[in-house]
Amino acid sequence: MDNEIQLISDGDGLAVIGNPTDVERFLVSEGLSSKDLGLPRLGAAFSAGAAAAQAGSEIAANSGRWVKLTKESAQAVKKYGLRESSKTGLSTGVVKGGKGQVRTFVEFAKAPGSLLTNPAVLAGAAGIMAQIAMQQTMDEITDYLATIDEKLDDVLRAQTNQVLARMDGVDLAIKEAMSVRDTVGRVSEVTWSKVQNSSATILETQGYALRQLGDLAEKIEQKSKVGVLAKTAKEAEAGVQKLLAVLARCFQLHDAMAVLELDRVLDASPDELDRHRLGLKAARRDRLELISQSTERLLARIIAAAGTANSKVLLNPTESPAVVEASNRVATCVYDFQGLLGIESGRQSSEARRWVDAAAERWDKVRETGAESIDTVRHFGNETRGQARSVRDKLSDRIAERRFRRREDDEERDE
């Protein structure tokens, strides 16, 4: 195993396994930041026997690190040509290199290493990778929620807390289970029994938030008058932040439940770990799709509202910019939220991002043009009123002059 780096990718992260020195050299050469994979936990994936003893000794001799797959890190790994298994959905391979030579870590070895040929080890590593990826997202959501909380006023913060209060019990139960897991190193039947029914409460709260987002989108769609749109867009701006915070919290707790669930399966039924991991991955993908559809619909409505406001800028020079600016902020909130959860941008979402980036600059131009147009209208109106007043004065003078002449003619006839 000297100078061999074994790679496992599940699409979200990359496990780098090998001699600690070689692993570190490989990560430095590729410029990849990493976290400890926790290989010793794989001991629960084995049954007794000589094969288990051999695998255990191989695990003990190796180091494992986990790398989050971003666009940059994915490109760095792509050159090694990992082979994907249709059964597990994992891509694996081995990179060989000469001792102390970083540059030689570019040769792909067609013969896989012994750890990768052990189904139990592979399933266990994939399960741990899924847990680390979800814990990474959970940490990012915690930071996101702290940022959102700073933006909410006292009224909205109270409303958000009121909605999330129903999940406080779930949160406390999960935190307790996580603490026991970290201390004991496993999720026992007793620990799991305290949290196994928590998903219903999380799903109920998620359903509430998604329904509220749908109602907001429908409300915006039904408005066409700029004055009403300005009020609705302002309300949406505050409401969307609150609801996205609720959805983020639900997603975070779902991931925490999945982390515990994988540990429970690893402990109770290790043979089912890989199938269970794939099932949880599919369920997570379905949740993301549901959230994606709801947020995309809201984006479409809020962008349409901004378009309506732009088209009526001359008629509503004060309220139109308010609609555009509020819509811009809502779209930014939604797009940042989608990025947080790793939701792939569809056509509408990509258009929304471009619109958000260009909105301020475009609106400045529209406002300048609008202001010039308004000044022109005002100038034209003043000129028109002046001309009308001049015509009216002239006409009045002529009428007065005619009346005066008629009076003079009448007086002359009387004489």
User: Position of tokens 């814990």?
Assistant: 135
**Of residues 174, 178, 180, 144, the one with CA closest to residue 253:** 174
Domain layout of the chain by residue ranges: 4-120, 154-369
What's the N-to-C CA distance of the chain in angstroms? Answer: 138
**Locate tokens 């599940």: which residue?**
10
The contacts of residue 267 (CB under 8 Å, 6+ apart) are 44, 186, 187, 188
What is the length of the chain?
A: 415
For residues 133 and 130, give the distance between their C-alpha atoms in angstroms, rounded to a whole number: 5
At residue 376, the pLDDT reads 37
Closest to 109 measured CA to CA, from 123, 125, 92, 122 = 92
The C-alpha atoms of residue 247 and residue 253 are separated, in whole angstroms, by 10
User: Cα–Cα distance between 132 and 119 in angstroms, integer?
Assistant: 20
What is the C-alpha separation between 327 and 304, in angstroms, rounded? 9
Ramachandran class of 81: left when φ > 0, alpha when ψ lies in -120 to 50, beta otherwise: left
| Closest to 131 (Cα-Cα) out of 247, 264, 301 | 264
Taking the C-alpha atoms of residue 352 and residue 359, their distance in angstroms, rounded to an integer, is: 10
- Of residues 154, 177, 351, the one with CA closest to residue 257: 177
Q: Is 185 left (phi over 0), alpha (psi -120 to 50) or beta?
A: left
CA Rg, the chain, in Å?
34
Mutual angle of helices 226-268 and 168-184, in 10-degree steps: 30
Distances (CA, A) of 294 to 248, 288, 303: 14, 10, 15
Gap between the Cα atoms of 165 and 171, Å rounded: 10
Read off the tokens for 151. 């933006």
Largest CA distance in the chain: 146
Angle at 407 between CA 403 and CA 411, to 5 degrees: 170
The pTM (predicted TM-score) of the whole model is 0.75
| Beta bridge partner(s), residue 65 | 16, 36
Q: Please tell me the distance from the alpha carbon of residue 390 to that of residue 384, in angstroms, as a whole number.
A: 10
Long-range pairs of 134-138 with CB within 8 A, sequence gap ≥ 24: 134/255, 134/256, 134/258, 134/259, 135/255, 135/259, 136/35, 136/68, 137/251, 137/252, 137/255, 137/340, 137/341, 137/342, 138/252, 138/255, 138/256
Note down pLDDT in tens along the chain; length 415 residues.
456 888 899 988 999 988 888 888 888 888 888 999 888 777 655 554 444 555 566 676 678 899 998 877 787 777 777 888 888 889 888 887 655 444 444 444 444 445 777 787 888 889 999 999 999 999 999 999 998 888 777 777 777 777 778 788 899 999 999 999 989 888 999 999 999 999 999 999 999 999 999 988 888 777 667 667 777 777 777 788 889 999 999 999 999 999 999 999 988 888 899 999 999 999 999 999 999 999 988 888 887 777 776 666 545 556 667 777 777 888 888 889 999 998 865 545 445 455 555 555 555 555 555 444 444 334 433 443 343 344 344 444 544 555 555 555 555 555 5
The two structure tokens encoding residue 164: 């999330």
State the Cα–Cα distance between residues 67 and 156, nearest whole angstrom.
37
- Write out 84-101 in H/E/C secondary structure: ECCCCCCEEEEEECCCCC
CB 12 within 8 A of CB 87: no
